[in-house]
C-alpha cells in the first residue's frame, strides 16, 4: 500500500498512522463522511467542511490511489431480503492448504467474510442464508471440501451489532 503523502510536508493537526500515512483532520472527516454515505457529492462535502470541491476531489483521489478507499458499496439490511440466518463457522484445514481452501470457501454462496485466525481453528467464516436448508447445504459442502478437517458452525440468535465502519 502506498503511503498517503500530504500536499506539503506536515499539515497542522496531522497524525502519522502506521505504514507512513499522514492524515489531517480534513482527511479524517472526509473518510468518516464517506463511510456514512458513499454517494455524498464532493460539492456537498466541500460545503459541509468549508473547503473547495477540488480539495475534496483530490483528497478522495489520493485515498483511492493509496488503496485506503478500495471501493464504494451500499449497506443492506440482509433480513429484509430474506437472509434470516447468520452462521459463524470455525474451520480447521489440512496443513499447508489454508490459503487455497480459504479462497474456495470465500467463493461459496452466502459467504460474507473469511478470516485467517489464530487459536484452535485456522479460519472463521461468516455467512448468511435464507433457510435452514441453505445453511445445511453450506455446512455439509464445507465438510466435503478435500482439505477441511473439521468445521464447527454456530447459528447467530441475535445480531447486537454489525457495522464495519471504522471510528475515525
Give, for all 168 residues of the chain, the pLDDT tens digit. 444 444 443 455 555 554 556 789 999 999 999 998 999 999 999 999 999 999 999 999 999 998 889 988 888 889 999 999 999 999 999 989 999 999 999 999 999 999 999 999 999 999 999 999 999 999 999 999 999 999 999 999 999 998 888 888
Sorted by sequence, the CB contacts under 8 Å of residue 46 that are 6+ apart come out as: 52, 53, 55, 56
70 and 2 in contact (C-beta within 8 Å)? Answer: no
| Predicted local confidence at residue 13, as pLDDT | 52
DSSP 96: T
Distance CA 37, CA 20 (A): 27
| Predicted local confidence at residue 165, as pLDDT | 82
User: pTM higher than 0.85 for the full model?
Assistant: no
Show the domains of the chain with their CATH numbers: 1-75 (1.10.10.10), 78-155 (3.30.70.920)
22 and 11 in contact (C-beta within 8 Å)? Answer: yes
Name the residue with cell 445445511: 136
| Predicted local confidence at residue 74, as pLDDT | 85
Amino acid at each position: 500500500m502506498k503511503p498517503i503523502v500530504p500536499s506539503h510536508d506536515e499539515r497542522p493537526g496531522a497524525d502519522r498512522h502506521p505504514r507512513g500515512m499522514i492524515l489531517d483532520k480534513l482527511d479524517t472527516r472526509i473518510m468518516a463522511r464517506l463511510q456514512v454515505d458513499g454517494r455524498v457529492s464532493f460539492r456537498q462535502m466541500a460545503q459541509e467542511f468549508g473547503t473547495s470541491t477540488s480539495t475534496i476531489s483530490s483528497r478522495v483521489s489520493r485515498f483511492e490511489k493509496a488503496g485506503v478507499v478500495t471501493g464504494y458499496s451500499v449497506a443492506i439490511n440482509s433480513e429484509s431480503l430474506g437472509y434470516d440466518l447468520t452462521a459463524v463457522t470455525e474451520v480447521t484445514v489440512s496443513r499447508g492448504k489454508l490459503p487455497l481452501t480459504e479462497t474456495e470457501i470465500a467463493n461459496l454462496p452466502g459467504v460474507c467474510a473469511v478470516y485467517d485466525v489464530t487459536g484452535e481453528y485456522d479460519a472463521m467464516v461468516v455467512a448468511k442464508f435464507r433457510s435452514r436448508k441453505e445453511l445445511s447445504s453450506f455446512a455439509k459442502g464445507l465438510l466435503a471440501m478435500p482439505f477441511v478437517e473439521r468445521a464447527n458452525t454456530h447459528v447467530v440468535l441475535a445480531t447486537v451489532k454489525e457495522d464495519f465502519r471504522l471510528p475515525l
